[in-house]
Amino acid sequence: MKIFDSSKLFEEVTNGTFLYIDKDLDLTSFDVIRKVRKIFKVRKVGHAGTLDPKATGLMILATGSKTKEISKYMELEKEYIGTLQLGAETQSGDTETEIIKTSEINNITEKNIQDTSKLFIGEIEQIPPMHSAIKHGGTPLYKFARMGKEVEREPRKVFISKFDILNISLPFVYFNVVCSKGTYIRSLVVDFGKKLGVGAFLKELTRVRIGNITLEDSYKISDLESITSSLK
């Protein structure tokens, strides 16, 4: 947790600043913005990129006049640590939905996993997941997904600088990814499972860095909420 002076931070946020948040599991990115608005009593709050509800970790927010400068953070590379589960698939590509298909993984070796991860290094194309906020005809894709509908999505080019396998304890694979903006780690994991021929979904994910800003620079929402009571 980052140490902070409540009065000074309150003043900075009120006047306009960049705020680094460590998002908790199951909070939506809008939940984070809503809580920051309530804690600091500010209306103008923007973000430099969302996180899925089932992901945790670093989000960059801007308040007040600083929202005009938030775009400079959007181009920065991002780093994640996560866990994927082999031999199982979900509709959303993560734990938001139930497992819909399983496969045997008895023939998968550590070499298979290491070699396959290397295939994703460099520029790759991804099809955005249906369970995402990308809009189709003005409607977020996740709304179509919740109705059981699938719409055509254009592939997007992204760049993967690092896809390191940290540990393997089948069916779980622990990894570290450094990537460009716009990369969907869920899609990377799903495509990884397809390459191995057994399927996969994202079990856990934490964003640990955006540019040179790390998780150690961030505040937990619960810590910020203590500001309200301490300043009464």
Catalytic amino acids?
Answer: 52
Which residue(s) pair with 23 in the sheet? Answer: 57
47-75 per-residue burial string, b: 16 or more CB within 10 A, e: under 16 = bbbbbbbbbbbbbbbbbbebbeebeebee
Rounded-to-5 percentages of helix, strand, coil across the chain: 30, 35, 35
Question: Could you give the C-alpha distances from 226 to 29, 55, 136, 218, in angstroms and in order?
Answer: 20, 24, 40, 15
Q: Contact at 8 Å (CB) between 95 and 201? A: yes
- How far is Cα 168 from Cα 178, in angstroms, rounded to an integer? 19
